[in-house]
Amino acid sequence: MKTQTAKLIFPLLIIGVLSMSGCALSQMVKASKDQGLTVEPSPLEVHANKVTFTMSANLPAKMLKKNKVYTLNTFYKYGTQEKALTPIVFAAKDYPNSATEQPKVTQEYTFAYDPAMSRGNLQIQGVASNPKTGAFKESERLGIAEGLITTSTLVQPSYYASYAPHGYNDQEELIPTNVDFFFEQGRSNLRPVEKNSDRGTKFAAFIADKNVTRTVTITGTHSPEGLDRINSELASERAVAIEKWYREQMDKYDYQGMAGQIRFITKPIVDDWTGLKTMLGNYSGITAAQKSEWNDIINGAGSFEQKEKQLQKLSTYKQVFKDIYPQLRTAKTEVLTVKPKKSKEEILTLAKSIAEGKTSADQLSLEEMAYAAANTPTLAEKKAIYEAAAKKNDTWVIHNNLGAVMMEMAMTAEGRNKTNMVRDAINHFEISIQKNANAQAQANLGMAREMEGNMEGALEAFNKALTMNPANDVRQGVNGAKGAVEIMSGNYSAAIGSLGNATNRSVDQYNKGLVQLLNKDAKSGQTTLEAVISNDRGYVWAHYVAAVAAARQGNENKVIEHLRNATTADASLKAKALADLEFRAFTGSQAFTDILK
């Protein structure tokens, strides 16, 4: 009898325990209706291609039962899919004072963003369980936050191809030709011996060539001795004598209308010791001490004539008079002629022919080929000319510019073709840097890495380029691209600094307005975006993001104005605006609904 009684009592005890356990779990689930849940931010937001939020959970006092566990399972549900997140676990043993104090946990969550997640909601489900028996009770699922604010994903990539200077001067250049004619003491007539000298003959031949000439400058001088000094006009007369002879030569060689385009400048130099001092410095006929005697007088007090009389008393005067003075009795002539150059059209035609293999590359200099590439409108022809130039001489300039063309071509390419172009461009930039560390290739390297999706590598290259004292256009281009990458990386304060020093291109100013908005300055963002619209009304995304900025300020009129402009230009934005949580406060507005029909 005792054995039978024991057998009967044991099952009843188990049933009782299970009944008590189930009752406790039910009580926990029931009490969970009073739990406190907060989510920040709400709605959930996307930044740096991730969704990050903080959830705090407070359980009511006395909710946790002895030896029981309450688990708060968290999900992000979108469409027919959901993403399970790390659960929050409240084990009774970890909260010994839960009978009088509220158990609290704050947890940060991060998950990767997928465009399919754009509309969804954050849900939780409580589970009360008995670890010992495995029994559990679930609460109903509860939505606690909407998702997602995706405004940060509206950043536009900014690419700027930096070309190194081609090095060719397409402006008029003047070539100086110099010749000196010498005169007898106290005279200004140009002697036949000077005209027929080697200098005179070559100069006459130069005039005969009819070079396109802009100016002829003739500087007449005199030596310091008395006879020259008596004739104060001597220097001027010597200059005029050369001009007269030059004009005779032009008549001889039939310059006709060309002569009237040449400007003659005659400059007499009187009472000037510069020539004598210079020649004394290079003269080896007297000692350094004797030179000092000359310089002391020349640099001392007294008039020009007084100094000359003092020099005549020096023991070395006759020797210097014989060796140096005749060289001071000159008319120095400088002729500035126009450097012969090919026309722009001729250079472009030759460059194209060289690129096609029809003409020898020797027909153009490397600088002329680079100039032709820079002035060729189509990227394919630019590429062909730079490739031909690289065969002629693969300088750092050519490698950088060839890579820049490939990068520009990649901007409009897709798939494997784009990948290959970017890879080849990077190769040229790296070669350019190896040949000569330069800001243009360093900047372009950053752009290409950005195109590859290598944001860390892009920022590294951009930062290095900015330390290389780049030209202003390169610096602004780098800052624009750098700012875009910083937005993509979620570093908004850095992006504001970069974009504040970027170009005035619409894309850079648009990104500037966007990051001001993302940095919680909707007013400045709207001002910047409306400036973009003022300069470029066709920039559709500027209209859309300006509407977002207006929404954050509660300005319905501006929301309607900018959304109307955006959706008129691109009707597909109607569906986006209807689903965009940025406009959640206006979904009940008839005006808002009407423009999105």
Task: Extract the tokens encoding 142.
Answer: 């509860």
Is 514 inside any structural domain?
no
Lowest mean pLDDT among 49-58, 176-185, 369-378: 176-185
Q: Tokens 């200059």 appear where?
A: 239
- Using pLDDT thresholds of 50, 70 and 90, give the confidence band for residue 232: low
Q: Are residues 325 and 208 in the same domain?
A: yes
Question: Which among 419, 229, 204, 431 is positioned nearest to 333, based on CA atoms?
Answer: 204
Could you tell me if 216 and 246 are in contact, meaning their C-beta atoms sit under 8 angstroms apart? yes
Residue entry with tokens 């566990």: 69
Last residue in a domain, options 338, 365, 393: 338
Q: Supply the range of the domain harboring residue 245.
A: 174-338
Last residue of one domain, picked from the residues 448, 467, 490: 490
- Enumerate the β-bridge partners of residue 131: none
Q: Hey, what are 559's tokens? A: 């929301």
Is residue 74 within a helix (H) or strand (E), and if so which, with residue range?
strand 69-78
Q: Is residue 512 part of a domain?
A: no
- In this prediction, residue 446 carries a pLDDT of 97
Cβ atoms of 563 and 541 within 8 Å: the answer is no
CA-based R_g, the chain, Å: 44
Query: Residue 230's pLDDT band (boundaries 50, 70, 90)?
Result: low
Is residue 133 in some structural domain?
A: yes
Helix-helix angle 396-410:415-435, to 10 degrees? 160
If DSSP codes are grouped into helix, strand and coil, which group holds residue 592?
helix
What pLDDT is stored for residue 18 in this prediction? Answer: 40
**The tokens of 490 are what?**
């979620």
Q: How confident is the model at residue 201, as a pLDDT?
A: 93
Is residue 192 domain-shared with residue 292, that is, in the same domain? yes
For residue range 454-473, list pLDDT tens digits in order. 999 999 999 999 999 999 99
Q: Which residues contact 38 (CB under 8 A, 6 or more apart)?
A: 55, 56
Query: Do 334 and 365 reside in the same domain of the chain?
Result: no
Report the alpha-carbon distance of residue 331 to residue 325 in Å, rounded: 14
Quick one: 301 and 346 in the same domain?
no
How many distinct structural domains can be found in the chain? 4
Model confidence pLDDT, tens digit, residues 325-342: 999 888 899 999 999 999
Helix or strand run (H / E) with residue 229: helix 226-230
Q: Is residue 554 part of a domain?
A: yes
- Asked whether the beta carbons of 225 and 243 are under 8 A apart, the reply is no
Together in a domain, 239 and 380: no
Residue 127 phi, psi (nearest 5): -130, 115
235 and 301 in a single domain? The answer is yes
Question: Does residue 510 sit within a domain?
Answer: no
Percent of the chain with pLDDT strictly greater than 70: 95
Report the mean per-residue pLDDT for the chain. Answer: 92
What percent of the chain shows pLDDT beyond 90? 84
Q: How far apart are CA 117 and CA 81, in angstroms?
A: 9
Residues 346 and 393 in one domain: yes
Q: Give the integer Cα–Cα distance in Å for 307 and 224.
A: 9
Q: pLDDT tens, 66-117?
A: 999 999 999 999 999 999 999 999 999 999 999 999 999 999 999 999 999 9
Q: Which of 287, 319, 338 is the last residue before a domain boundary? A: 338
- Residues facing residue 89 across a β-bridge: 71
Are 114 and 141 part of one and the same domain?
A: yes
Residue 379 lies in a domain: yes
The answer to whether position 504 is within a domain reads: no
Over residues 41-61, the mean pLDDT reads 96
User: Is the pLDDT confidence value at 62 over 50?
Assistant: yes
Does 501 map to a domain? no
**Residue 16 predicted with pLDDT over 70:** no
Backbone φ and ψ of 174, nearest 5°: -110, 135
End-to-end CA distance of the chain: 84
Q: What SS3 class is residue 495? A: helix
pTM of the model: 0.79
CATH code of residue 126: 2.60.40.2550
pLDDT (0 to 100) of residue 3: 41
Considering the domain architecture, whether residues 324 and 355 belong to the same structural domain is answered as no
CATH number at residue 457: 1.25.40.10
